[in-house]
Every structure is written in structure tokens, then in C-alpha cells.
Homo-oligomer: A and B are copies of this chain.
Amino acid sequence: MRPSRRQNDELRAVSLERGVSRHAEGSCLVRFGDTHVLCTASLEERVPGWLKGAGKGWVTAEYGMLPRATGERMRREAASGKQSGRTQEIQRLVGRSLRAVVDLKALGERQITVDCDVIQADGGTRTASITGAFVALSDCLSWMETRGMVVRDKVIRDHVAAISCGIHDGTPVLDLDYLEDSAAGTDANFVMTGRGGIVEIQGTAEGEPFSEAELAELMRLARHGIGQLVERQRTVLEGQPQVGSGR
């Protein structure tokens, strides 16, 4: 049995709490077990310089961890003066994942920045970030729709969510926590849309290389988990938008 005593295809307790920021146009506190990430979506009426006059907008993401989000305190990136390679990798991934389901033309010449800040970490912070960021982004677009700026469902073309899988002691398992991740021989992250298309796949052999058969099994698990996450997103996004005051 895996360390977390969950079934091999069992997610951790997942919650998506909307409207947690008073200021941000959209926000979501996402929890995958003990991994808690605060996602806020901020609208700005400008686009990056290289996109000026292109008739479309931009969606980007930034990622950070509080210094003691982890078991051992890490140095604050603002104090060390630069973002680590890991931080940059993750924020680029979150941004790409969101843009995969956004129609940038329908957004208009504006930028939405989704900040994903890890309050507490226990593995899977990047997949939780993507899953929560989608909810924050959706509420930001609802905020805009209320003000007649966009039609939300023309900008957002599908859901997007993400999950990690790994091979623990020879067995593929879903949604690794930190302990499982440390022990896993292979670690793979999957980003998929609500309709089941693959947006991003990143698989890494930590020890021994893995086989195509193993990859297929990891993908099967991921599809199962992401299906549940998208269902959760749908449920939580029903009803009224829960938006902040905006700027």
C-alpha cells in the first residue's frame, strides 16, 4: 500500500474556495490535501510591449512559495534577489496551461496575471496551482462580464486542470504527496482540458527509465483524476460569480 494509504487512483481531499481575496477580480484557495495554494487573478488594461497593437490580450502567471510553506524553511526569493529555475519553470507552465483554453482575441487588449502563492506545501503545488488558477481566472472574467468588457464563455473555451502521477514501488499511483513524491521512481505531471485533450505532459525518470506501458498507465490515472477535478471546478463555479472589488 502506498504511504498515504490512499487507493492507487484516489485523489487527496480537494477543495476549491472562491472569492477569498477582497481585492482581486477573481480568486481561489485550492487545497490538494495539505497543499494549499492561493490563486488571485488581476486584470490590467495593458498588454506586454511585444503584443501592442496585435488586437489581442495576454494571460500569464507568477508562482511563489512562502518561506516556511515547506518542512524546512527556504530562503525568501525576494531576499536572495532572484527566482529559482524551479519557480520559473512552474510559472511558465501555469501560464501556458491557462492560455491553452483562452481565446486571447476575445479577451481584448488586456492582461490577466494569475498569482499562485503556496501557503503550505505537501507535493503537487504546480498541479494544484493550475487547477485553482482556472477558477480564479473564470471569476475574473465574470467580473469583466458584469462590466460589459467580455463575454466570459467566449474567452474561456474549456476547463483546464492538472494532476501528478508517479510510480511507487513499481505501482502507478495518482496525486503524489511530498513523501510519495520523494520515494517515487518516476514523476509525471499532466495538464488536460475538460474535453480530455492533453495540454501538457511532463514525465521524468528519477531513477530507472520508464517504459511506454508505464507512461500509458500513468496517463490513465491522470485522466481519471483530472476528470474529477474538472467536475469539482464545474460544481464550484455554478451559481453567482464570487469576485473582488477590483482596482
Contact = CB atoms under 8 A, between A and B. Distances in A.
A246 to B, nearest CB: 8
A215 B201 contact: yes
A4 to B, nearest CB: 14
Across chains A and B, which 9 residue pairs bring their CB atoms closest together, nearest first? A197-B209, A85-B88, A77-B78, A42-B73, A40-B68, A201-B203, A78-B78, A24-B68, A72-B247
Interface residues of A, number: 66
Interface string A188-211: 100011010111111111001111
Contacts of A228: none
28 contacts: A21-B120, A22-B34, A22-B122, A23-B120, A24-B73, A27-B68, A38-B119, A42-B67, A44-B73, A62-B67, A62-B79, A64-B66, A66-B117, A68-B115, A71-B245, A71-B247, A76-B78, A77-B78, A85-B91, A89-B92, A96-B204, A119-B119, A188-B201, A192-B209, A197-B210, A200-B203, A201-B201, A202-B203
A103 to B, nearest CB: 12
Contacts of A203: 198, 200-202
A146 interface: no
Contact of A89 (B22, B38, B64, B85): B85
Nearest to A66: B117
Interface of A: 21-24, 27, 34, 38, 40, 42, 44, 62, 64, 66-73, 76-79, 81-89, 91-92, 96, 100, 113, 115, 117, 119-120, 122, 188, 192-193, 195, 197-205, 208-212, 215-216, 219, 245, 247
Task: Specify how many copies of this chain sit in the oligomer.
Answer: 6
Contacts of A211: 197-198
Nearest to A85: B88
Contacts of A205: 100, 197-200
Nearest to A113: B73
A89 B89 contact: yes
Contact of A115 (B23, B62, B67, B202): B67
A32 to B, nearest CB: 13
B210 A23 contact: no
Contact of A76 (B62, B66, B88, B120): B62
